Chains A and B, each alone.
Chain A
């Protein structure tokens, strides 16, 4: 061991992922600063502050031992399911749908926490499942129930986007756990058949509308299609180099809805152009590639499933959000990780990052006592 000026606690952090991530958060803060009309308040300052707080949290998470994760998996899952039920009950009593709990100092959206939790619990489940049973119903049914409980609760809220995210995270974990491929193929086929039926029976009117508008946004340019149309205008009018920092008209003149949350990418693209968009995609590629590498290098089944599931969860956010703002997916309320203004999404994504960092740490010390 050669002595180094950099303390070991600092040097062992995964800087090749963290530095681009800082870049992305700073860009996000700049965009939020501009969206607030050139002010740090109310978005940019709290954005950076939250990131720093949650970064500390992520580092703390990364210090936790593997056994702690193993032990905590089911209690955490159970706790969050309980919170989801509680939210449902409060909503029913209060006479309306509710997605969050008011904790006094912050509002907590339990469905968000479920996104990493479902991955955690499934990773734990498949670790304990004897390998020969992976391809049996014993490997499918309990996992399916674990996914279905929170998914149904969240759909009832109703929050289709989060429910899909939970299902996606769970499904990817199951896929990586080695379940037979033809199950996924037939499930996919069944979904293709069921989707149109569900579309006309299960979805709420506003959800149906969003899908219809996605298919033909110009049909209702001032109604539901307005979001997509304005978002495309913002991205398209930015060009290669953008209109320049602080010069976005779509966001500043309020043509772009939710310019600081769900459509923050459009706000960014208008001012920073195609190059800004490529930078964002590049950072996400770095983070996700790093995450998948961490998963591949993980010493055991639990760790690899955990890291890969976290990467998939972040990926789902990014993919759906970007497809939505570019008019490739219907409008679902999913924010863009690390750029959208919002505490809960930052919390969830930093939990994912923290867990990936934890797995990364376990990788570096395969012989540790944990």
Chain B
């Protein structure tokens, strides 16, 4: 067996998203001699990045002061905000936009294009970015994180070595920063091992599906930001859609469903396709072409669900640390800000110690605390949620209480309650026809010779308990059709089409028995998003 390579850096960052890249760049801006590397599991920076996305630019300006002279490739000033309240046949434009959703002065960007752009800036500043290398585990010694280990390449299905097998390497660092995004797989291990969430409310999530469309000439409305609430979601389910008009009749759009949904038969993908066929929206798709499809879980727990953000030798930042402003539907400005603050903390103190306190007394904390009760209020349904949101907005979050969150995997009703019914497949005639054809637009790729990266601890539960209690919700919530129950003469069997996976992490979150563990596949695997 070959020897494992070891490399040493001052700072190792896991994840080349907005948080990780901002942190890396700020580190180099403060001290050009610092050795900083960033690992990214996608084959290229930005290829796994997926967001709406409308951004606030204050943190970006602080990081890249002249960004307006050389803006990210897709960057459209918001011209107009609209919120549509949908019913099955109609849509009513809300007369006013809630203050959190007023996007005056904000920009529509593609997070994928923006991170690739930011990656180039960071590389110019001397940051070493390694796309195509997944962090498989944290290296912990005597209660301290001393770096990370990258995944092996060329492992066979049976766990043996294939041709060209390459052992992962160890990267030792004085500081390791986890910027893995929502439900990061190594962050998850770390949170468990160090009990970082023991004083926090359970983390909650949403699943976001996104599509990029090229509309027929003249059908777009550059700078228009539209959101919908209501149909086809029932009042008990939190969620809605976004439709952001870019330049050249391109439109970024998608659908978010809170993963605390209760109906085990709910199908996020089908609901989104149904919404697209709504009489008020369907016209948009005439002569239009689907360019890209993807999905990603979103962290929604907010202030009360943030884990402790430090362990000896390591910090958590960005969505991986639970930082997203749900009422604003924005996390990128916070991710950037948390990266900047983390770098500044390390520059000053040369340690991760104290980072949690710094973040909790920062502007990020102020922003998240103020809106902490809005998202959990939607447990009272859409109307109750809006009333509560109104109260929280008027009182600016000064309510003396903090509403608790509940783990998403525990929210499903059992089939035996008789409240929920299976629904037939939806075919609206608008692309993509189904999840399998959708995955084709995600350009996802996993070498099929590698081991399955979705570890199901006990597949017997799937065919017995889960089939009976919940009728296998994994076959419905997965936006990439990874999970299938196959009927065979010997009985039902779970089939995992791991090659379809778009790395959204929904299964890891929503599986009611918490037996699905999402681990990083071979580096470079997964979707190859363009401008998502």
The answer to whether A and B come from one shared complex is: no
